[in-house]
Chains A and B, each alone.
Chain A
Amino acid sequence: MAALRPSSRAFLPPLCRAFAGPGCQLAPERGAERRDAASGRVSGFCPPRKSCHDWIGPPDKHSNLRPVYFYVPENESPLEQKLRQLRQETQEWNQQFWANQNLTFRKEKEEFIRSRLKARGLELRAGSGQKATLDAEEMADFYKEFLRKNFLKHMYYNRDWYKRNFAITFFMGKVALERVWNKLRPKPKTST
């Protein structure tokens, strides 16, 4: 069932090439520029020229989210472009939120540990060079406080994430249907 196909047209490689048109291989320079524009923050990575799919990378060290390198086909329809832009933008938004969240968490955790150790008259690093830590029960106060402080921020994030997730999935569905429709309808006159 074609409607089951994910947006990256994963099921049938030969069909993918036929579908994406000859642009996959004929216009590498133009493709490369658009790829660069689409890649956004995905620096340093370029997929093989022959690839017609998105690429997903290792988890980012700050946000733990995996960046996606979006493939831009030559004959991208407006709907496909809208989907890709939405996904790109959501990816950046997510990246920013979680990188910030994790960095803040780490920083505040360090400060908490430092302040608690100081209150006990200990240094962060003991004489032997080992990093002193607090046990889980002491850290529990920090976790509780951190969660409470960020509660509202999380509420807004959740609401926005759900909206974006639904929108992306909805557009993926529309794109899939558009592709099915394009394949099934009688071929229009080929434009030069």
Chain B
Amino acid sequence: MAASPHTLSSRLLTGWVGGCVWYLQRRAMQESPHTFVHLFRNVNKQWITFQHLSFLRRMYVTQLNRSLNQQVKRKPEPVASPFLEKTSLGQAKAEICEMRPLPPPSLPLSRKPNEKELLELESASIIEGSLDAGKEMKDEKHWKEMKLQLDDLPGILARLSKIKLTALVVSTTSAGFALAPGPFDWPCFLLTSLGTGLASCAANSINQFFEVPFDSNMNRTKNRPLVRGQISPLLAVTFATCCAVPGVALLTWGVNPLTGALGVFNIFLYTCCYTPLKRISIANTWVGAVVGAVPPVMGWTAATGSLDAGAFLLGGILYSWQFPHFNALSWGLREDYSRGGYCMMSVTHPALCRRVALRHCLALIGLATAAPVLQVTTWTFPVISLPINLYISYLGFRFYTDADRKSSRKLFFCSLWHLPLLLLLMLTCKRPPAAGGAGGEPRT
């Protein structure tokens, strides 16, 4: 039967998307600013102990060699283990640095990747003949040569393009593609995913390019590559162009022009509307929600070639989801937003912020109910998604009434698993093609 390979592909995709998104959720959760250091410390005790000992040994050697005016051989920057993301690594180190006053041997421990600079600058301080050797050494060891290391480049570009966010965007696009009616076309699917991924990388890079001084001043973003001077703005823009052009080309000519147009539109919306608007008006949140809603629509149009009701429904679900997610997150960042000059609802209109979050949690229930009406899923979907939708609405309600950090964090963390689960349920309840329209005859 023609439906079988399609169903099989759908189920495989369900499994893949589910696994992929689950993994990414774990990572996203690990990056929460507050439970973050705690989790990190527990997981990395072994690794840190080893590095600590290596560093102490090297410090000893350096001290000895100083008097002999030798330059200690530069140690290449260690590659982060696959388990660790460099961003989180940097953040953890910054957090550890800030959280406890460390005795000198431990302080460099938390800045392990800068060891080679420490060694280079040791010789610099000898040349200078500084008066206050102790303080100057401590300052100097934080200086880094702005020389691009080719082996670091993949990691740097991954952080520049916010690779994890890109992966989430691509998974929502995949969900849109899989939920669209019609036979599942693997080549088209892969081209869509790749094109969307490239477009997202480009948009994220340009966003970081625009926001360097603001990112420097916010704890969440201060370890980004451009902030740390790991690459130049020119390289960032070049990289963005090298992602955007092939990405959009792939979508336009490899998939269909409508998807390509949506890709270009989304890049423009994110970089030229949302990013500057963040500092002008609270309307940025609504624009940002549209940015998040477009990828699944792109997935749908890639599969069907047209913008029908199902595409808008999926877009609507993503759009509504953005509000509890972002508004809850922004509740804990009010100080940074205020100081950095960001116009966010949580700062300027706190009541509106909570109201909108609740409103959209409830809207998710409505949208889930609309799914079978629009023939996207069976009627099982609104039933089985009701528990999670009710739960997030409950948390939204608590956030609305309590308006405190605790309720905002609970809502935020709930949103992290709510969306992938909702999409997964949608995929499993996808209306099979043979069912046809209401009262329609089965297709021959």
A interface vs B, CB < 8 Å? 3-8, 10-11, 13, 44-49, 51, 53-59, 63-66, 68-69, 94, 98, 101-102, 105, 136-137, 139-140, 142-144, 146-148, 150-151, 154-155, 157-158, 161-162, 165, 168-169, 172-173, 176
Chain A residues within an 8 Å CB radius of B124: 46-48
Asked whether any CB of chain A lies closer than 8 Å to the CB of B25, the reply is no
A56 to B229, CA, bound (A): 7
A6 to B121 alpha-carbon distance, docked (Å): 23
Looking at A5, A65, A101, A169, which has the most chain B CB atoms within 10 Å of its CB?
A169
Q: Which of A4, A6, A56, A102 meets B339, CB within 8 Å?
A: A102
* Residue B11 interfacial (CB < 8 Å): no
B120 at the interface (CB under 8 A from A): yes
Within 8 Å by CB of B337, from A63, A64, A147, A165, lies A147
- Tell me which of B287-295, B296-304, B341-349, B418-426 binds A: B341-349
Question: Which of the residues B128, B148, B237, B341 comes within 8 Å of A169, measured between beta carbons?
Answer: B237
CB distance B334 to A143 under 8 Å?
A: yes
**B233 is contacted by which of A58, A98, A168 (Cβ under 8 Å)?**
A168
Assess the A66–B229 pair: CB atoms within 8 A: yes
Q: How far is the CA of A139 from the CA of B279 in the complex (A)?
A: 20
Give 7 CB contacts A-B under 8 Å.
Answer: A7-B234, A55-B143, A57-B142, A139-B335, A140-B350, A142-B338, A162-B210
Asked if residues A158 and B279 are in contact (CB atoms below 8 Å), the reply is yes
Contact with A along B252-296 (1 / 0, CB 8 A): 000000000000000000000000100110000000000000000
Q: Are A161 and B213 in contact (CB under 8 A)?
A: yes
Does B238 interact with chain A (Cβ within 8 Å)? yes
Chain B 185-243 residues near chain A, CB threshold 8 A: 209-210, 212-213, 216-217, 222, 227-229, 231-235, 237-238
Residue of B120, B143, B148 near A45 (CB, 8 A) is B143
Tell yes or no: B443 within 8 A of A by CB.
no
Task: Report A-chain residues with C-beta under 8 Å of the C-beta of B147.
Answer: 8, 10, 13, 53
Please tell me if the beta carbons of B348 and A47 are within 8 angstroms of each other in the complex: no
Alpha-carbon distance between A142 and B337 when the two chains are bound, in angstroms: 12
A136 near B404 with CB under 8 A, answer yes
A142: chain B residues at CB < 8 Å are: 338
- Tell me which residues across on chain B come within 8 A of A47, comparing CB atoms: 124, 143, 145
From B150, B213, B232, B338, contact of A172 by CB (8 A): B232
Chain B residues lying within 8 Å of A58, measured Cβ to Cβ, are: 139, 142-143
Q: Is B26 an interface residue (CB 8 A)?
A: no
Is there a chain A Cβ closer than 8 Å to B140's Cβ? yes
CB within 8 Å: A-B pair count = 149
Q: Give Cα distance in the complex from A59 to B222, angstroms.
A: 9
Q: Interface size of B by Cβ–Cβ distance < 8 Å?
A: 52
CB neighbours of A148 from chain B (8 A): 348
Could you tell me which B residues sit within 8 Å of A by CB distance? 120-121, 123-124, 127-128, 130, 136, 139-140, 142-148, 150, 209-210, 212-213, 216-217, 222, 227-229, 231-235, 237-238, 276, 279-280, 334-335, 337-339, 341-343, 347-348, 350, 403-405
A137 contact from B128, B217, B403, Cβ within 8 A: B403
Chain A residue numbers with a CB within 8 Å of B148 are: 6, 8, 10-11
Which of A44, A55, A176 meets B234, CB within 8 Å?
A176
Closest Cβ of chain B to A101, distance in Å, is 7
Question: B341 near A147 (CB under 8 angstroms)?
Answer: yes
Write out the residue numbers on chain A whose beta carbons fall within 8 Å of the beta carbon of B142: 57-58
Tell me the nearest residue of chain A to B350, going by C-beta. A140
**Chain A's nearest CB lies how many Å from the CB of B202?**
15
In the complex, A53 Cα to B144 Cα: how many Å? 10
Residues of A within 8 A of B227 (CB): 66
CB–CB A69/B233 < 8 A? no
B234/A48 in contact, CB under 8 A: no
Contacts of A55 in B (CB 8 A): 143-146
Query: Smallest CB–CB gap between A52 and chain B, Å?
Result: 8
Residues of B within 8 A of A3 (CB): 238
Query: Chain A residues with Cβ under 8 A from B120's Cβ?
Result: 48
Chain A positions within 8 Å of B237 at CB level: 169
On chain B, the residues within 8 Å of A147 by CB distance are: 337-338, 341-343, 347-348
A53 touching B127 in the complex, CB below 8 Å, given contacts A44-B136, A165-B212: no
CA distance A168 to B413 in the complex (A): 40
Across the interface, B123 reaches (CB within 8 A) one of A48, A105, A165, namely A48
Residues of B within 8 A of A10 (CB): 146-148
What CA separation (Å) do A32 and B216 show in the bound complex? 30
- Nearest 3 A-B pairs (CB), nearest first? A6-B232, A10-B148, A143-B338
In the assembled complex, the Cα of A66 lies from the Cα of B212 at a distance in Å of 11
Q: Please tell me if the beta carbons of A172 and B334 are within 8 angstroms of each other in the complex.
A: no
Query: What chain A residues lie within 8 Å of B279 (beta carbons)?
Result: 154-155, 158
Q: A56-B144, A147-B338 are in contact. Are A98 and B127 (CB under 8 A)?
A: no
Among A53, A63, A157, the residue within 8 A (CB) of B146 is: A53
Max chain A C-beta neighbours (<10 A), residue from B139, B150, B238: B238
- Chain B residues contacting A63 (CB-CB under 8 Å) are 216-217
